[in-house]
Structure 1
Amino acid sequence: MPRTEAPRAAVELSGVSVRYGSAKQPVTVLDGVDLRVRAGEFVVLVGPSGCGKTTLLRVVAGFALPAAGRALVRGAAPRPGRGAGVVFQQPRLFPWRTVGGNLGFALARHGVPRAQRPARIAELLERVGLSGMAGRRTWELSGGQQQRVALARALAAEPELLLMDEPFAALDALTRERLQEEVRALAGRLGTTVLFVTHSVEEAVLLGSRVLVMAAGPGRVVEDLPVPLPRDAATDVPALRASPEFARLSGHLTRALRTG
């Protein structure tokens, strides 16, 4: 029988190490990290501050180069601005532009013709629950609304890969829960591959199809936890949060973080 090759990973890190500082006194932030993310997975990174979660995301985005090892995104070396949408902890919107202007700028950068941009802006705002707000100024929006615009901007190029670095950390609890549910549903609907950084155990369990636990000194992956929770559109998320399985996974993850 002919041998069937495994499908190409959306993200693949092999022995990746990252060092900062001088050659005489280097600081190893990541050490020999191996990671394989399949297309359509929602993988969450958790771990203590300083364990290299954000640095790992920067490597995948092409913002940082490994000192050793290899990083591949869909089989090629990652390049900034190519193939991945990035959402930071702060929205980082242009305050002198409207909501539509921020999205239009992103669309222009990705080569969308001017005539097509209004329809694409309307579509993107509908995806993130901000229909009809293209003419609003960014400073008129709440923090949660601004983060939705940042998400819409990241989706402007229709990326197959979405990198999210603690995007909800600065939001109030209710807004955070709502955006968690919306991102969970949106990623499932679009089939987007997501790599998501958080410090929250509950957020990791709710969002991830897998959770990677990282330990510091230097940063490395110490556990890969599958999350076998339902992810279809009909899932009652509040009931899911209150379920025994959610509590079991959260407890397991908390213990892994304490011992990692």
Structure 2
Amino acid sequence: MPQAETAVAEPKAVLPEVVLDEVTVRYGRAGTGTLAARRGTQALTTAVEGVSLTLADGGFTVLVGPSGCGKTTLLRVVAGFEPVSEGSALVRGSAPAPGGGTGIVFQQPRLFPWRTVGGNLSFALARHGVPRAQRPSEVAELLARVGLTGMGRRRTWELSGGQQQRVAIARALAGEPRLLLMDEPFAALDALTRERLQEEVRTLAASSGTTVLFVTHSAEEAVLLGTRVLVMAAPAGTPGRIVAELPVDLPRTPGTDPAALRATPEFARLRGELTTTMREAAALPS
């Protein structure tokens, strides 16, 4: 008997982690009343306009640019905190929404001061559906990942600023997020703590394959952490937009010495190129 042909299933297409298509975000609302009618204006502020961006699975993308160019606004769109006025935003093929496999680290830790360090992490694990019996071991593992082993019973106000930010990073990693959003998480820290946390985040991203969108003002931090850097600008008060992209091809394997990486000619070249691009972008005509 002739053998029946076996159907071969075609591989499913892998969706990008994030897709922004011509995204525009406006704040405020249309002006009303006699004054607004006389001026013929609307009380609307356009934060970003016509921004398109795709984040592939597992990449580390950094947004750089001066204050007010819309970096945080884009991060909030991806997080599901900010609605899109025009265009579309998709995270894994669906509209962005808080939670749902996305971890967020803000500029400030925003921990619950009435809970212990472990209590903050347990709360996050509970929200991700981790059974109560598993939470203590997972809290211990998270603390170990950010260098805070044995500090689960401490109160958050007993910790230094750098330690609190480590807890915030651990909390963001509690649900093993596929997507990690970080808004200048090290801006307020001292240089030594900042370098230590940069290395921890770089190592965590390289070892876990998590997709990261990271906001910073620093060209050096962008080159150190990112696999690509997107430069934003809003010259002369115009809406923010992406004006340049710089791919970064540097070693990303866990255990790479950041001091040795910074000392390489390629790192210096990329940092200089990005610094020049940022300065030129800030002076772009409207």
Residue aligning to 1:143? 161
CA distance in 1, matches of 2:110, 2:251: 33
Residue aligning to 2:55? 37
The secondary structure found in structure 2 opposite 1:76 is coil
| Residue 161 (structure 1) aligned with residue 182 (structure 2) | no
Residue aligning to 2:65? 47
The secondary structure found in structure 1 opposite 2:143 is helix
| Residue 22 (structure 1) aligned with residue 43 (structure 2) | no
| Residue 13 (structure 1) aligned with residue 12 (structure 2) | no
Q: Are the structure 2 counterparts of residues 99 and 5 from structure 1 closer, same or farther at C-alpha, using a change threshold of 3 Å?
A: closer
Per-residue CA deviation, residues 54-78 of structure 1 (Å, 9 max, x unaligned), is 0000000000011000101111111
In structure 1, runs of 5+ residues without a counterpart are none
In structure 2, runs of 5+ residues without a counterpart are 1-9, 31-41, 282-286
Q: Which moved more, 1:116-125 or 1:22-31?
A: 22-31
Residue aligning to 1:220? 241
Provide the TM-score with structure 1 as the length reference: 0.96
| Residue 231 (structure 1) aligned with residue 252 (structure 2) | yes
CA distance in 2, matches of 1:4, 1:138: 47
One-letter identity of the residue aligned with 2:219: V
CA distance in 2, matches of 1:5, 1:82: 21
Residue aligning to 1:74? 92
CA distance in 1, matches of 2:134, 2:252: 33
One-letter identity of the residue aligned with 1:224: E
CA deviation after TM superposition for structure 1 residue 114, in Å: 1.1
Matches within 5 A, 1:102-181: 102-181=120-199
Choose the corresponding residue for 2:74, options 42, 53, 56: 56
Count residues in correspondence.
259
Identity %: 72
Per-residue CA deviation, residues 161-194 of structure 1 (Å, 9 max, x unaligned), is 0000000000000100110011000111111000
Residue aligning to 1:182? 200
One-letter identity of the residue aligned with 1:81: G
Choose the corresponding residue for 2:229, options 211, 232, 247: 211
The secondary structure found in structure 2 opposite 1:44 is strand
Q: Are the structure 2 counterparts of residues 108 and 8 from structure 1 closer, same or farther at C-alpha, using a change threshold of 3 Å?
A: same
4+ aligned runs moved over 2 Å, structure 1: 3-7
One-letter identity of the residue aligned with 1:236: D
| Residue 99 (structure 1) aligned with residue 117 (structure 2) | yes
The secondary structure found in structure 2 opposite 1:124 is helix
CA deviation after TM superposition for structure 1 residue 5, in Å: 7.9
Q: Which moved more, 1:191-200 or 1:22-31?
A: 22-31
CA distance in 2, matches of 1:57, 1:36: 13
Per-residue CA deviation, residues 31-81 of structure 1 (Å, 9 max, x unaligned), is 010000100000000001100000000000000011000101111111112
Residue aligning to 2:210? 192
Provide the TM-score with structure 2 as the length reference: 0.88
CA distance in 2, matches of 1:235, 1:165: 24
CA deviation after TM superposition for structure 1 residue 127, in Å: 1.1
CA RMSD of aligned residues (A): 1.5
Q: Which moved more, 1:120-129 or 1:47-56?
A: 120-129
The secondary structure found in structure 2 opposite 1:214 is strand
CA distance in 2, matches of 1:51, 1:107: 34
CA distance in 2, matches of 1:6, 1:107: 31
The secondary structure found in structure 2 opposite 1:167 is coil
